[in-house]
Amino acid sequence: MPSLTFFCRTEGCFHAHQVIGPTWPVETKCIECGAVQAISPPDDSDSGEGIATCAVCECAALFVQKDLDQRVGCLILGGGVAVALLLWWKVSVYLFVPTLLAVWILDRFFRRWIPDVVICYRCDAEYRGFPNAAAVRPYDAHVGERYSEGRFERGKL
Ligand SMILES: [Zn+2]
Ligand SMILES: [Zn+2]
């Protein structure tokens, strides 16, 4: 089921809203500050263009990434290095590189099963479960830079 998560755009209010398709509401009301946010229904059809513009801020700049907390990714690799060091110390120096390689391959392998999340550069809205997520380009630092200035001024977006 496709879902959309976004943060309240009132300055200083960071309440997270979640709306679930396929019957999209046209607006949500923040339970913390009472602000009403209009939503243009995102395209969640199999044959459609997918999410072309953000349903919250109408920004056309979106990127896709694996729906995995970056900290979890670091933890997996960190754990792999720890195991490799332990094997090096306890078993054999020759196990260090192959162990790291095995961890890296396992990491790649499992990442394939992690669903994609599409994120808006401008307002950080997150789109999950959309069939065309793979068509969206991954994060581009140049584009991100252009939108990062307004990031902490949500009320003024
Ligand atoms: Zn709010
Ligand atoms: Zn947006």
**Residues recorded for the chain:** 157
In the reported structure, the alpha carbon of residue 10 is separated from the centroid of ligand 1 by a whole-number distance in angstroms of 5
Name the pLDDT band for 112 (thresholds 50, 70, 90). confident
Write down the pTM of the prediction. Answer: 0.76
For residues 38 and 8, give the distance between their C-alpha atoms in angstroms, rounded to a whole number. Answer: 11
In the reported structure, the alpha carbon of residue 5 is separated from the centroid of ligand 2 by a whole-number distance in angstroms of 10
Tokens of 72: 């979890």
In the reported structure, the alpha carbon of residue 29 is separated from the centroid of ligand 1 by a whole-number distance in angstroms of 8
In the reported structure, the alpha carbon of residue 112 is separated from the centroid of ligand 2 by a whole-number distance in angstroms of 26
Q: Residue 2: helix, strand or coil by DSSP?
A: coil
Cis peptide before 138 (omega within 30 of 0): no
Q: What is the pLDDT of residues 33-64, one digit of tens each?
A: 999 999 998 888 877 767 889 999 999 999 99
pLDDT of residue 126: 95
End-to-end CA distance of the chain: 29
Which of these, 138, 108, 153, 157, lies nearest to 12 by C-alpha position?
153
In the reported structure, the alpha carbon of residue 35 is separated from the centroid of ligand 2 by a whole-number distance in angstroms of 16
Beta strands at 3-7 and 16-20: parallel, antiparallel or unpaired: antiparallel
Per-residue HEC secondary structure of 42-60 comes to: CCCCCCCCCCCCCCCCCCC
| pLDDT above 90: residue 19 | yes
H/E stretch holding 142: helix 141-148
In the reported structure, the alpha carbon of residue 121 is separated from the centroid of ligand 2 by a whole-number distance in angstroms of 7
Name the pLDDT band for 157 (thresholds 50, 70, 90). very low
Query: Is 66:148 a contact under the CB 8 Å cutoff?
Result: no
In the reported structure, the alpha carbon of residue 110 is separated from the centroid of ligand 1 by a whole-number distance in angstroms of 36
In the reported structure, the alpha carbon of residue 46 is separated from the centroid of ligand 2 by a whole-number distance in angstroms of 22
DSSP assigned state of 138: B
Q: Is the dihedral of CA 83, 87, 93, 94 positive or negative?
A: negative
pLDDT of residue 82: 93
Query: Is 6:15 a contact under the CB 8 Å cutoff?
Result: no
Least confident of 17-31, 72-86, 96-110, 141-155: 141-155
> Which residues are near ligand 2, the ion (C-beta closer than 5 Å)?
54, 56-57, 59, 120, 122-123, 125
In the reported structure, the alpha carbon of residue 8 is separated from the centroid of ligand 1 by a whole-number distance in angstroms of 5
Name the pLDDT band for 22 (thresholds 50, 70, 90). confident
pLDDT of residue 151: 54
